[in-house]
Amino acid sequence: MGEMERLDGFCDVPHRRFNPLRGEWLLVSPHRGKRPWNGDVSKEDSEVKPAYDPKCYLCPGNARAGGEIVNPKYESTFVFKNDFSALFDDGTPQTSVEFADGLFRVQGVKGECRVICFSPRHDLTLPKMSVEEIRGVVDLWASQTEELSQKYRWVQIFENKGQEMGCSSPHPHGQIWASSSLPNEALKEDENQKEFFKKHGRTLLSTYVEEECRQETRIVTQNEDWLVLVPFWAVWPYETLLLPKFDVQRISELSTTQRDTLAQILKEFLGTYDSLFDVSFPYSMGWHGAPGNAADGVDNAHWTLHAHFYPPLFRSAKVKKHMVGYEMLGEPQRDITPEQAADRLRALALALK
């Protein structure tokens, strides 16, 4: 029996799907996706942004929040230590405390938080930048990971984009939080990939890529090195996973051509996101790669580098999915199936080619 036929009976009825990376289930209710599309397709308030905003904390030459530090007149990318860091690199206890049968546990943690401006231009976003400019961001993600992984076990690169995600500034920027311990998501992915590798002798995500290339139903777009798909276990309506078609564990280990093709697919598929509801598409995105660094002697053969994109929008630029109610108390739930979401995104990606 083919893979798709095995799923046939489930297509139109409620079912649960398993996320092997996180080791968690979600509820899919496809019949609810067939509710009429009372399409609010209104655009976002199309306020035109200036290329330079004298009030922006991130624009070149401007004073940052607090007023003491002034940004240099940077011309491409710019990294600085977060003025309101969530982690400190020294001065905090690095011990653990546990009492009352483990009901109370505290662990010391140290780390560093940085902000990365993607461009000096206040009015741009990643998909509005050129492939060459995005390539500069890829290099920065890689060099920051390389540097911080010498000191910290986990380097989390991420971008909160859009007011819907609580992003504090429209200036194109992302963040890096590096920490001495693995955060929850990293720990779950590490354990689940390790388990799969032990059992099957190959990586979870390379096996998944092979299978998705066979089935094709969830692929949004691809080039010679990279694949964008709506994962079988996606929770957010238009959630995607960006995966390499080759074996790589960390972003810092990408070759020159793999960085080129990454910049190309980012430009293309983030443009597709923008065209979905005709709006600068909000999301939280981030990279997950093997903890530590290549020289630390830890075997991370089970890891595959990948990026998650979690966009909150559902039916239009205005209608957002909320993770509330059943999702807080039971488990995440989605209406349109990952396959339906992939169909829409793929059609848009093709139209833009």
Q: Which residues are catalytic?
A: 173
Q: Which amino acid, residue 89?
A: D
Is 87 among the residues that bind ligand H2U (CB under 6 A)? no
Closest approach of ligand H2U to the CB of residue 113, in Å = 7
Q: Which stretch binds Zn ion (CB under 5 A): 49-57, 75-83, 276-284, 314-322?
A: 49-57
Closest approach of ligand H2U to the CB of residue 58, in Å = 7
| Geometric angle at alpha carbon 271, from 176 and 160, rounded to 5° | 25
Q: Which of 51, 65 has the CB closer to ligand H2U? A: 65
59 binds, among Zn ion, ligand H2U, none (CB under 5 to 8 A by kind): Zn ion
Is 171 among the residues that bind Zn ion (CB under 5 A)? yes
| Binds Zn ion by CB under 5 A, chosen from 21, 26, 59, 204 | 59
Q: Which stretch binds Zn ion (CB under 5 A): 138-146, 150-158, 166-174, 179-187?
A: 166-174
Is 167 among the residues that bind ligand H2U (CB under 6 A)? yes
Is 83 among the residues that bind ligand H2U (CB under 6 A)? yes
Is 175 among the residues that bind ligand H2U (CB under 6 A)? yes
Q: 31: which residues sit within 8 A by CB, 6+ positions away?
A: 12, 13, 14
Closest approach of Zn ion to the CB of residue 130, in Å = 18
Is 109 among the residues that bind ligand H2U (CB under 6 A)? no
Is 70 among the residues that bind ligand H2U (CB under 6 A)? no
Q: How far apart are CA 341 and CA 333, in angstroms?
A: 14
Closest approach of ligand H2U to the CB of residue 62, in Å = 9
Q: Which of 59, 248 has the CB closer to Zn ion? A: 59
Is 115 among the residues that bind ligand H2U (CB under 6 A)? yes
Closest approach of ligand H2U to the CB of residue 44, in Å = 17
Q: Which stretch binds Zn ion (CB under 5 A): 53-61, 125-133, 197-205, 208-216?
A: 53-61
Q: 270: which residues sit within 8 A by CB, 6+ positions away?
A: 125, 126, 127, 281
Q: Which stretch binds ligand H2U (CB under 6 A): 77-85, 125-133, 136-144, 298-306?
A: 77-85
Is 82 among the residues that bind ligand H2U (CB under 6 A)? yes
Q: By the 8 A CB rule, do 177 and 87 touch?
A: yes
Closest approach of Zn ion to the CB of residue 123, in Å = 8
| Binds ligand H2U by CB under 6 A, chosen from 149, 156, 160, 240 | 160
Q: Distances from the Cα of 247 to the Cαs of 166, 192, 201, in angstroms?
A: 34, 17, 14
Is 56 among the residues that bind Zn ion (CB under 5 A)? yes
Size of the site for Zn ion (CB under 5 A): 6
Q: Which of 193, 284 has the CB closer to ligand H2U? A: 284
Q: By the 8 A CB rule, do 265 and 164 touch?
A: no
Q: How far apart are CA 120 and CA 50, in angstroms?
A: 12
Q: By the 8 A CB rule, do 175 and 113 touch?
A: yes
Q: Which stretch binds ligand H2U (CB under 6 A): 164-172, 202-210, 310-318, 334-342?
A: 164-172
Residues that bind Zn ion (CB under 5 A): 53, 56, 58-59, 122, 171
Residues that bind ligand H2U (CB under 6 A): 57, 64-65, 82-84, 115, 160, 166-169, 173, 175
